[in-house]
Amino acid sequence: MSDTLLRVDGLVMRYGDHLAVGGVAFDVRTGEVVSIVGPSGAGKTTVLRVAAGLLEATGGTVTIDGEPVAGPPADVAVVFQDYSRSLLPWLTALGNVTLPLRAKGRSRGDARSAGLEALAAVGLAGVSRKRPRQLSGGMQQRVAIARALAYQPKLLLMDEPFASVDAQTRMDLEDLIRPLRDEYGVTILLVTHDIDEAVYLSDRIVVLSSAPATVLRVIDVDLPLPRSQTATKEQPAFGRLRHEVLDLVRLRPTSA
């Protein structure tokens, strides 16, 4: 469980005159759930998009299993915040989940059984024939997660995946993550604004500074497993971690 799957090394990103990311480095080990947090505009999404091969960095390297990322890697899936734009409205839930599998050359029957299994894993066994507009926001995001998992990626990258749903649905979706990690043996790197969510879900948290982003600290989250929305969040250790992360995220550079 301790080998490195993703390595971000000296990552620099400049948008025109703006130096957004100023040398970010961290590792994600196989099987981990790691969150990236930081102030608004710190470059969290930028780091994730470079790891996904969707954006070319100005400098530094990202490797997955030792291979430099240059374009979207075959065994990486991405889940975005905006589920309404990530699902195809004219396809059923199952059709959305199986589309990438068919594109990858899997047979119809094989794609269908992997798709049904993934929909069941996210708690949507009964809605495989429904279209996205017939599903709630939380259910649509579950379909997007099922689509990513059915692909059986080594690495799942998630950018604010629960930011557009209500608080109760958010907790339900959070509680899918660690069991899905176990069931699919997938490593997860997640960007979130929500410090409680980062502490609750993660094995480690990468805290970025404001721009130009660097890694302020990588924090081990050694809260016992399995986690629970009530018991875990009542633990003094949860409060201490939350406090530590919040202090770092709210750090402001001292003015000269």
* Alpha-carbon 58 to chain mean position: 23
Residue span binding ligand ATP (CB under 6 A) among the ranges 23-31, 37-45, 79-87, 223-231: 37-45
Interaction between residue 245 and ligand ATP (CB under 6 A): no
Beta bridge pairs of residue 27: 7
- CA nearest 92: which of 168, 34, 14, 146? 146
Residue the block writes with tokens 């590792």: 27
Site string for ligand ATP, 39-78 (x = CB under 6 A): -xxxxxxx--------------------------------
Q: How far is the CB of 214 from ligand ATP (least distance, A)?
A: 13
Site string for ligand ATP, 7-36 (x = CB under 6 A): --------x--x-x----------------
Nearer to ligand ATP, 41 or 179 (CB): 41
CA atoms of 96 and 109, how far apart (whole Å): 15
Residue the block writes with tokens 């721009």: 211
In the region spanning residues 174 to 233, those forming contacts with ligand ATP, defined by CB under 6 A, are 193, 211
Q: How far is the CB of 245 from ligand ATP (least distance, A)?
A: 14
Residue of 22, 38, 132, 161 that binds ligand ATP (CB under 6 A): 38
For residue 45, which phi and psi values (nearest 5 degrees)?
A: -65, -35
CA atoms of 70 and 53, how far apart (whole Å): 6
Beta strands in 80-214 (DSSP E): 155-159, 187-191, 204-208
Q: How far is the CB of 144 from ligand ATP (least distance, A)?
A: 18
Are the C-beta atoms of residues 119 and 97 closer than 8 Å to each other?
yes
DSSP line for 67-91: EEP-S--TTEEEE-S-HHHHS-TTS
CA atoms of 100 and 216, how far apart (whole Å): 37
Q: If you count them, how many residues does the chain have?
A: 256
Nearer to ligand ATP, 15 or 136 (CB): 15
- What single-letter amino acid sits at 103? A
Nearer to ligand ATP, 127 or 163 (CB): 163
Interface positions with ligand ATP (CB under 6 A): 15, 18, 20, 38, 40-46, 193, 211
